[in-house]
Amino acid sequence: MKTLSLTLKYLFLAILAFISIFPFVWMILGMTNQTFDIVAGKIMIGDQLVINFQNLFASDLNFTRALGNSAVIAVITTVFALLFSSMAGYGFEIYRTKTKDRIFNILLLSMMVPFAALMIPLYRMFSKLSGTPIGINTFAVVILPSVCTAFLIFFFRQNIKAFPKELVEAARIDGLNELNIFLRVYMPTAKNTYAAAAIITFMNSWNNYLWPLVALQSPDKRTVPLVLSAMGASYTPDYGMMMCGIVIATLPTAIIFFVLQKQFVQGMLGSVK
């Protein structure tokens, strides 16, 4: 009976794993086939891989430039989001007052507001800054709304709850100022938290579609999701070329996750201690 129960569990997990992995397998197989075979549901390795890659990088959509745009936006967003959100979370937890707790509660309530409801106010605000480095149709207009989010502030504050406050007091006695305490005492001990936050932020920025669609109006400013959407919106979409683009677009986030997966798990567990 115990063997049968164990077998059923492994069978159930195997089915779930197959369901989860199959879309990725189909996507990889699709990049080797032409549009007709993909539409027909062919699940075999084809001979169109090189042609699909050539069509992708030779298309008028300039996929190479889109990769560079997405990389610049995602990296800058991640770096500044980790810095500012961790500083905010650190400040809310270490220097606690009733006023700051009320502000933090309001910040948490802001997480309930969908981003679609904020797009029009954001667009109106940034459109008034047109012609400046942070106006509409600049990378800054995509980066700034994601630099300091309520979720990341909450995430860092929850992690800092487990941070020994005695280290802060000892550092103050040794003569370190508050900024150096944050940079030289807290940050080195929170590597796992930063790794988990980096994965979340990079993935959200890399896959961001709705706000860049509104804010970036020039074809040369398009990001990868916008280019992939344009491929599918054509009158006769080339699905083989699209699959190549999707696979390439998936690689950066997958690589970052697999490199930092151990720190990601530890960082997520550390945030709820």
Report pLDDT digits (tens) over 95-135.
Answer: 888 888 898 889 888 888 888 888 989 999 998 887 788 88
Tokens, residue 238: 């080339």
Q: Would you say residue 273 has pLDDT above 80?
A: no
Longest dimension (CA), the chain: 73
Which single residue is written with the structure tokens 């280290």?
167
Mean pLDDT, rounded, for 57-62 = 87
Cα torsion through 223, 229, 232, 238, rounded to 10? 20
Phi, psi of 128 (to 5 degrees): -70, -15
Cβ-contact 50, 58 below 8 angstroms: no
> Into which CATH architecture does domain 61-271 fall?
Orthogonal Bundle (1.10)
Q: Tell whether the model's pLDDT for residue 271 goes beyond 70.
A: no
Q: How far apart are CA 180 and CA 203, in angstroms?
A: 30
pLDDT, residue 44, reads 86
Share of the chain above pLDDT 70, in %: 97
C-beta neighbour count of 28 within 10 angstroms: 16
pTM (2 decimals)?
Answer: 0.89
Residue 3 has pLDDT above 70, yes or no: yes
pLDDT for the residue 1 = 63
Question: Contact at 8 Å (CB) between 268 and 52?
Answer: no
Residue 272 has pLDDT above 60, yes or no: no
User: Average pLDDT over the chain, rounded to whole?
Assistant: 88
Residue 46 has pLDDT above 60, yes or no: yes
Residues 6+ apart with CB under 8 A from 5: none
Tell me the pLDDT tens digit for each residue of 159-198: 888 888 888 888 888 888 889 999 888 998 888 899 999 9
CA-based nearest residue to 221, from 37, 82, 61: 61
Q: Where are the domains of the chain?
A: 61-271
